[in-house]
Amino acid sequence: MIGVAVHTFVHYYVHMPQTIRIAPSVHATLATLAKATHTTIAETVSRAVGVYQREVFLRGLADDFAALRASSEQWPGEQAEREAWDQTIADGLENE
């Protein structure tokens, strides 16, 4: 019985395509991009989502770093940690 439940779960969540509504202009842009890159629209959407995901991550990272720099309590500790790491460069070992 467990095998059937797992099969149903995998079939529904892994193999079933999902449908989303998009504007006709967006579909046209996706079709143009897919044709230009010799890929499918699905692959083009996947790539676009990956790029957007990285953009959101990096924007959050930049915001967090800006908050760290703005903190008069935390920024000196960050600077001290960087200085400690900089000492590892002077370890006498050749660059590989």
User: pLDDT per residue over 63-83, tens digit each?
Assistant: 999 999 999 999 999 999 998
Count CA atoms closer than 13 A to 45's CA, side-chain side: 13
* 63 assigned to some structural domain: yes
> Quick one: pLDDT band at residue 42, thresholds 50, 70, 90?
very high
Q: Could you list the residue range(s) of the whole structural domain that residue 75 is in?
A: 21-88
Q: Could you tell me which residues come within 8 angstroms of residue 44 by beta carbon, excluding any fewer than 6 positions away?
A: 30, 33, 34, 37
Domain count, the chain: 1
Helical H runs in the chain? Answer: 2-10, 24-37, 41-70, 75-86
* 12 assigned to some structural domain: no
* 75 assigned to some structural domain: yes
| Cα 53 from Cα 57, distance rounded (Å) | 6
Identify whether the C-beta of residue 40 lies closer than 8 Å to the C-beta of residue 34: yes
* 9 assigned to some structural domain: no
DSSP state of 18: P
On the question of pLDDT at 96 being above 80, the answer is no
